[in-house]
Amino acid sequence: MLKMAGNKSYTIVEYFGGDCGYRCGYCKNDVGNFSHGMWSHTMTVQDYQDLIDRGWRRSGKYVYKPKLNKTCCPQYTIRCHALKFQPSKSHKKILKKISKFISKGELPKGQDDGEPMDSVCEDACPREPSKACHSEEKCASIKDIQKELPECPAITEAQKEVADAAPTSSETSRKDQGSVQDERTTATAPKPGMGADPGRPPCRKAKDLRKERRLQKEQIRQNTDGVSSIVSPTPPSPAPSSQPKLLEDFINESLPDNSSHCLEVRLVRSNPPSPQFKASFDASYQVYKLYQMAIHKDPPDKPSESQFRRFLCDSPLEAEHSPDGPEVGYGSFHQQYWLDGRIVAVGVLDILPTCVSSVYLYYHPDFASLSLGSYSALREIAFTRQLQKQSPKLSYYYLGFYIHSCPKMRYKGQYRPSDLLCPETYAWVPIEQCLPHLENTRYARFNQDPDAGDARVLKDVGRALVLYRRSVMPYAAYSRKRKGSSDETEVQQYASLVGQDCAERILLYRA
């Protein structure tokens, strides 16, 4: 039995480097995709949070970090400030489209708006995850080692199921005041052929009314000569409320009562699989298979059940709970969209200490015209806001990678305010400051402070932890045991990519 101080769960990984080029899932370059990769046998949510904040991303149990200064389509980690998010006109249009479909039952004509919300494209990963692990025998031996490692006590209570991802607002819906209709009277229309009613003021555009009110305010400020205590003897008519409607208000309006359809959103834990996940597995897989064949043009034999499990169901993340965390806990989940009792879309999510991370979205091709990719992103932002009320630190929504060189993937920048991760300092920079650089060059350092560096830069590779012969030890001790070992360059590269903090917590498997 391996003896270690304290009860602790450990992340265990195997590192594979990243010198070879692979097929790019975005531009289809056969050898243009370069990424560092490692297979994660198990991983804590805090370690994964720190890794994605250094540009890593998971596909199943395979965790990879694109080499942005070398790969053909640089992929920059993007996050949205969920608490500050306000839906744009296009987002509101999508919510109205959903509302019209649910209330009247008619699918809109045409196809999706080109926002698939595929945060991780399997073809874009550097290698087939099943090939990353060299043998089933080795996987089994590492699982045996995991059983010997002392783990944090797990909470065994039944997983709670979230019936709806978006919170139900207890506040009354904010109504826009001073709209165009408010400016018009509701008097009987003039008789046909009589023209406009001379007794009524002419109809005016809301834009002109807003401009007039703005000019009135400017004039009042000028007349007061900067003295705030002076009040105009004839106060202007009340201006419209500047308080914008919340995202939750728009979502709730898109789900009217007494409708032709019923839409329900359920959250089910995928790892370890909850009873609800197991019961709906086949129905969910069938939707995925149809999606891959229709949207990604996969042949019928490619989206197999084993591939589905490996790609979207298997996860290295351990289920964790904490007193100050969300009620559903941390880890990997599927957020299922049920329409009239059947699954029509599934969002694959990771709930981490400071964010909800979008992994993938697939939907039934029959509903492609509903823009379910964009709709699910809005629901996931609302879900993040709901979780933040339970866990104050959890306030960001990660959309995966932003790829400016691929026009179809630029839509992620529309969920604002958002930041991109600087590939050199790992500082978050507002996307508005990043875009001018990406217009000039595919690879860019976003942090413009020349003196800024990586706060978690590797300082001592000897303190990196390794797992060797069922024992955990610093790399310095391992090197002394393995005199003449030739893996120092590889371990040095791995540790510099994960950073000093993670290198001292994560166990790097050594054969």
Q: Answer for the pair 409, 403: CB distance below 8 angstroms, yes or no.
A: yes
**What does the pLDDT look like over 476-492, one tens digit per residue?**
999 998 886 789 999 99
CA 494 to chain centre: 25
Containing domain of residue 157, as a range? 12-169+249-455
pLDDT band at 219 (very low <50, low <70, confident <90, very high): low
pLDDT of residue 204: 62
**What does the pLDDT look like over 51-92, one tens digit per residue?**
999 999 999 999 999 999 999 999 999 999 999 999 999 999
**Per the confidence metrics, is the pTM higher than 0.95?**
no
pLDDT band at 117 (very low <50, low <70, confident <90, very high): low
Backbone angles phi, psi at 20, to 5 degrees: -90, 145
**What three-state secondary structure class fits 265?**
strand
**Do the domain assignments include residue 232?**
no
pLDDT of residue 111: 60
Domain count, the chain: 1
**Do the domain assignments include residue 210?**
no
**Do the domain assignments include residue 56?**
yes
Largest distance between two CA atoms of the chain: 101
In this predicted structure, the answer to whether residue 28 has a pLDDT above a threshold of 50 is: yes
The burial of 229, by beta-carbon neighbours within 10 Å (0-12 exposed, 13-18 middle, 19 or more buried), is given as: exposed
In this predicted structure, the answer to whether residue 373 has a pLDDT above a threshold of 60 is: yes
> According to the per-residue pLDDT averaged within each range, which of 222-236, 251-265, 267-281 is highest?
267-281
CA 79 to chain centre: 7
pLDDT of residue 162: 32
Q: Which residue has the tokens 């019936």?
A: 163
**Do the domain assignments include residue 24?**
yes
pLDDT of residue 84: 98
Q: Between 475 and 485, where is the model more confident?
A: 475
**What is the sign, positive or negative, of the torsion defined by CA atoms of 284, 286, 289, 291?**
negative
pLDDT of residue 338: 98
pLDDT band at 128 (very low <50, low <70, confident <90, very high): very low
Q: What percent of the chain has pLDDT over 70?
A: 72
**Do the domain assignments include residue 211?**
no
**Do the domain assignments include residue 465?**
no
**Residue range 240-257: mean pLDDT, rounded:** 86
**Do the domain assignments include residue 498?**
no
**What does the pLDDT look like over 158-188, one tens digit per residue?**
333 333 333 333 333 333 433 333 333 333 3
pLDDT of residue 20: 87
In this predicted structure, the answer to whether residue 242 has a pLDDT above a threshold of 80 is: no
Q: What is the mean pLDDT of the chain?
A: 83
**Do the domain assignments include residue 67?**
yes
pLDDT of residue 166: 37
